[in-house]
């Protein structure tokens, strides 16, 4: 078979969740599939060494100024040259006009959920992305041969919105990278401590501005925790701008909290295992997730996790995390307090997390997709 895989954003330096899923899928297909011929279509960018060609995997760089032009105009023009049997669109959308049969990965449909709390606070870029997906996805789900998503929870959600297409739907779990493990090497640890000027002890959380990540809720809950103890553990926030932090602190009327919060900026994927390993525990009480790779990364690094009792996070975390109502600042604050004062609870969660994280792997995901490609072609 001649199989195309869309990987538009794989060469960008600051990769996000869907980018990493597509990248790990391709890397693991390169290991397990030496028979089919693959063509990976990527927009040129600075991180062009993250993926290498192999004997049966060719990288095709497709230039375009914007994502819609790249996907709807340039990509269909380019793939015609390769006489493909099947395309796999990995990131929610696909060209509306294409003659090549295709599989679609629909990670979530938050952009279609009118009552979702996650719509509040979108910036202009996020609003445009949602508008684009709202227009494209209802059209392409009708044309896809198979639609995959990443959890049982998300499959049920998508089935409600696309009832007539539910016979095409199935889920394949994401994985977690093997380089996420407990790091104990002193030179590596001290290098990362110096690089990010880390405190001796800290609580770790993502500072993503996407509303579903619940960053304001995390910060407000952390502020409540600080008022309950004499010496609060500092909070380390990844990838949050200082202006965004100040805006949140002013909104919750707690500007003095600035003294207890450290911002790291972007942390490379190579450094993340050390950050997880050094942290007291990891805060991930998202409002809405279709899977939740970060909680598995933390578990693999032997770090206790506080997460949400809603969306797919309950499914993926199982009993290996403290699960809270993500809309309740009080519940998050109490969980922080409990975990900071109870080493036995942390140890128990760590042991459960190690076991839970072993259920998920990128190779297992790639094997399922390889089988899926064969079924789609047949």
pLDDT in tens, 306-351: 999 999 999 999 999 999 999 999 999 999 999 999 999 999 999 9
Instruction: Write down the pLDDT at residue 210.
Output: 86
Distance CA 298, CA 353 (A): 8
Do residues 297 and 269 make contact, with C-beta atoms less than 8 angstroms apart?
no
Residue 366 has pLDDT above 60, yes or no: yes
- Report in angstroms the alpha-carbon separations of 222 from 237, 276, 306: 12, 18, 12
- What is the mean predicted confidence (pLDDT) over 154-165? 96
Which residue ranges form the domains of the chain, and what is each CATH number?
A: 2-175+361-377 (3.40.50.2000), 186-357 (3.40.50.2000)
- What is the mean predicted confidence (pLDDT) over 352-372? 98
**Cβ-count burial 110-119 (b if 16+ within 10 Å, e if not):** bbbeeeeebb
Residue with tokens 């895989």, as numbered in its chain = 5
pLDDT-derived band at 239 (thresholds 50, 70, 90) equals confident
Residue with tokens 């996020």, as numbered in its chain = 126
Residue 161 has pLDDT above 90, yes or no: yes
Instruction: Write down the pLDDT at residue 120.
Output: 56
Instruction: Write down the pLDDT at residue 272.
Output: 95
Instruction: Write down the pLDDT at residue 16.
Output: 85
Instruction: Write down the pLDDT at residue 178.
Output: 92
Sign for the pseudo-dihedral over CA of 307, 312, 314, 320: negative
Instruction: Write down the pLDDT at residue 115.
Output: 59
pLDDT-derived band at 25 (thresholds 50, 70, 90) equals very high
pLDDT tens, position by position, 99-115: 999 999 999 999 898 65
Instruction: Write down the pLDDT at residue 117.
Output: 53
pLDDT tens, position by position, 263-275: 998 888 899 999 9
3-state helix, strand, coil split of the chain in percent (to 5) is 50, 15, 35
Residue with tokens 């401590």, as numbered in its chain = 193
* Lowest mean pLDDT across 8-17, 48-57, 355-364: 8-17
* Residue ranges with strand state E in 141-271: 146-149, 169-171, 203-206, 235-238, 261-265
- The candidate with the shortest Cα–Cα distance to 148, out of 130, 126, 129, 174, is 174
* Nearby residues of 140 by Cβ (< 8 Å), 6 or more positions away: 89, 93, 94, 95, 96, 104
- The candidate with the shortest Cα–Cα distance to 238, out of 272, 266, 213, is 266
Q: Assign residue 292 a region (left: φ > 0; alpha: ψ between -120 and 50; beta: otherwise).
A: left
pLDDT tens, position by position, 70-96: 999 999 999 999 999 999 999 999 999
Residue 160 has pLDDT above 90, yes or no: yes
pLDDT tens, position by position, 244-258: 999 999 999 999 999
- What is the mean predicted confidence (pLDDT) over 133-147? 96
Mean of pLDDT over the chain: 94
- What is the mean predicted confidence (pLDDT) over 235-248? 93
Work out the widest C-alpha separation in the chain, in whole angstroms.
67
- 133: its two tokens: 């997906």
3-state SS of 284-348? ECCCCCCCCHHHHHHHHCCCEEEEECCCCHHHHHCCCCEEECCCCHHHHHHHHHHHHHCHHHHHH
Do residues 79 and 44 make contact, with C-beta atoms less than 8 angstroms apart?
no
Instruction: Write down the pLDDT at residue 113.
Output: 84
Do residues 56 and 34 make contact, with C-beta atoms less than 8 angstroms apart?
yes
CA 158 to chain centroid: 18
Instruction: Write down the pLDDT at residue 119.
Output: 52
- What is the mean predicted confidence (pLDDT) over 224-248? 94
């Amino acid at each position: 078979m001649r199989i195309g895989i869309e990987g538009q954003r794989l060469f960008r330096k600051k990769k996000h969740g869907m980018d990493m899923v597509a990248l790990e899928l391709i890397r693991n297909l390169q290991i397990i599939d030496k028979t089919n011929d693959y063509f990976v279509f990527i927009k040129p960018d600075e991180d062009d060494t993250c993926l290498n060609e192999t004997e049966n995997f060719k990288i095709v760089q497709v230039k375009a100024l914007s994502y819609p032009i790249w996907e709807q105009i340039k990509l269909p023009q380019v793939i015609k040259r390769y006489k493909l049997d099947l395309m796999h669109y990995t990131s929610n959308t696909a060209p509306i006009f294409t003659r090549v049969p295709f599989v679609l990965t629909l990670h979530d449909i938050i952009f279609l959920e009118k009552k979702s709390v996650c719509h509040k606070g979108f910036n202009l870029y996020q609003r445009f992305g949602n508008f684009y997906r709202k227009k494209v996805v209802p059209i392409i789900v009708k044309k896809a041969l198979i639609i995959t998503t990443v959890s049982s929870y998300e499959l049920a959600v998508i089935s409600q919105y696309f009832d007539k297409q539910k016979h095409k739907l199935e889920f394949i779990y994401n994985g977690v990278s093997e380089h996420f493990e407990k790091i104990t090497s002193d030179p590596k640890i001290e290098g990362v401590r110096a690089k990010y000027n880390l405190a001796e002890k800290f609580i770790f959380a993502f500072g993503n501005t996407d509303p579903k990540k619940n960053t304001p809720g995390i910060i407000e809950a952390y502020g409540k925790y600080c008022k309950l103890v004499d010496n609060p553990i500092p909070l380390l926030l990844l990838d949050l701008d200082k202006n965004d932090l100040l805006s949140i602190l002013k909104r919750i009327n707690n500007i003095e909290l600035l003294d207890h919060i450290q911002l790291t900026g972007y942390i490379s994927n190579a450094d993340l295992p050390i950050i997880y390993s050094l942290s007291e525990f990891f805060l991930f009480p998202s409002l809405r997730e279709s899977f939740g790779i970060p909680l598995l990364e933390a578990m693999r690094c032997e770090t206790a996790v506080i997460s949400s009792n809603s969306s797919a996070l309950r499914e993926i975390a199982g009993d290996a995390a403290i699960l809270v109502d993500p809309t309740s600042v009080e519940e998050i604050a109490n969980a922080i307090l409990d975990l900071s004062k109870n080493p036995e609870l942390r140890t128990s969660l760590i042991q459960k997390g190690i076991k839970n994280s072993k259920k998920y792997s990128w190779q297992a995901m790639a094997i399922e997709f390889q089988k899926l490609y064969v079924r789609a072609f047949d």
